[in-house]
C-alpha cells in the first residue's frame, strides 16, 4: 500500500463539471485541495501577491468591503487577462508558485492524517505545471454547447465572455490526450456520479487503498 496519499489531479475546461466530479470524489472519502480557491485566497491574503497584483493591474484592482476586508475586482481581472495572453502568464507567474507551496503542505498534512487519496482540482493543471508529481490525472469533458450553457447558468454575462475564457484554456482534446482517465459529462448527474465512482474504484484498487 502507498504510505503517502495517492495524488489525483482533476481538471477540465470551463463548464466541464470538474468541481462536481471532485465533490463526488470527496463523498467517497477523498480529501480535496481546490487550487483555484487557494489562488483566490492568495490574491487578498498574501501581502506579496497583493503588492504584485497592484503593480500588474493598478490600485483599482482592490477595494474594501464594509468590514474593511480587501476585495479583488475579479471581473476586471478576468476581463483583462482573458483578452491578453501575456498578462495572463504574468498573473499565473505570481500565483501558481505559491499554490504549489500550499499543495506541498497539503500533501504532508494528508500523509500525517493517514489520508488515502488527495485530489487536486485545478482549471489549468497542465498549463501551470501543477500535474508534476501526481499519480493519476482525471480529465472531465463535455460538448461545447453544454459547457457554454452551464457557464451562462452560473452567472457569466455573455456567450462571448464564455468563449473568450474557453479559448484561453488548452483545447479539450489536448487535455484528453494527457489524461489517465476521461470522464464524460454530457448526461445526468446520476450518470456523472456513476462514472466518477467507477474511476474512483479503479484507482483505489490499483493502489490498494482501503475502502
Collapse the DSSP code of 106 into the 3-class scheme (helix H, G, I; strand E, B; otherwise coil) and give the result.
helix
Whether residue 101 is annotated as binding a ligand: the answer is no
How many helices (H) and strands (E) are present in the chain, helices listed first? 9, 7
Are 41 and 95 within 8 A, CB to CB?
Answer: no
The C-alpha atoms of residue 78 and residue 161 are separated, in whole angstroms, by 9
Are 7 and 178 within 8 A, CB to CB?
Answer: no
Whether residue 29 is annotated as binding a ligand: the answer is no
The runs of H, that is alpha helices, within 114-185 are 144-153, 159-168, 172-178
Whether residue 16 is annotated as binding a ligand: the answer is yes
The Cα angle at residue 77 between residues 75 and 81, in degrees rounded to 5: 125
* DSSP 8-state code for residue 131: T
Q: What are phi and psi of 24, to 5 degrees?
A: -65, -40
Q: What are phi and psi of 120, to 5 degrees?
A: -100, 115
> 184 is written with which cell numbers?
464524460
Binding site feature residues for ATP: 15-20
Q: Which residues are annotated as a binding site?
A: 15-20
Amino acid at each position: 500500500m502507498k504510505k503517502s496519499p495517492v495524488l489525483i489531479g482533476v481538471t477540465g475546461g470551463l463548464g466541464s463539471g470538474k468541481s462536481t466530479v471532485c465533490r463526488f470524489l470527496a463523498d467517497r472519502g477523498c480529501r480535496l485541495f481546490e487550487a483555484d480557491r487557494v489562488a483566490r485566497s492568495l490574491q487578498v491574503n498574501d501581502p506579496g501577491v497583493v503588492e504584485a497584483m497592484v503593480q500588474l493591474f493598478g490600485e483599482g484592482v482592490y477595494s474594501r468591503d464594509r468590514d474593511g476586508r480587501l476585495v479583488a475586482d475579479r471581473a476586471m481581472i478576468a476581463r483583462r487577462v482573458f483578452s491578453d495572453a501575456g498578462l495572463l502568464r504574468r498573473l499565473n507567474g505570481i500565483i501558481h508558485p505559491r499554490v504549489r507551496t500550499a499543495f506541498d503542505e497539503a500533501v504532508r498534512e494528508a500523509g500525517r492524517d493517514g489520508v488515502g487519496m488527495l485530489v487536486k482540482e485545478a482549471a489549468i493543471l497542465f498549463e501551470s505545471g501543477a500535474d508534476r508529481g501526481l499519480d493519476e490525472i482525471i480529465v472531465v469533458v463535455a460538448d461545447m454547447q453544454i459547457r457554454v450553457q452551464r457557464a451562462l447558468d452560473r452567472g457569466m454575462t455573455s456567450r462571448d465572455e464564455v468563449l473568450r475564457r474557453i479559448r484561453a484554456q488548452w483545447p479539450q482534446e489536448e487535455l484528453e490526450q494527457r489524461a489517465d482517465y476521461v470522464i464524460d459529462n454530457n448526461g445526468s448527474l446520476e450518470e456523472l456520479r456513476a462514472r466518477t465512482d467507477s474511476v474512483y474504484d479503479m484507482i483505489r484498487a490499483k493502489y490498494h487503498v482501503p475502502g
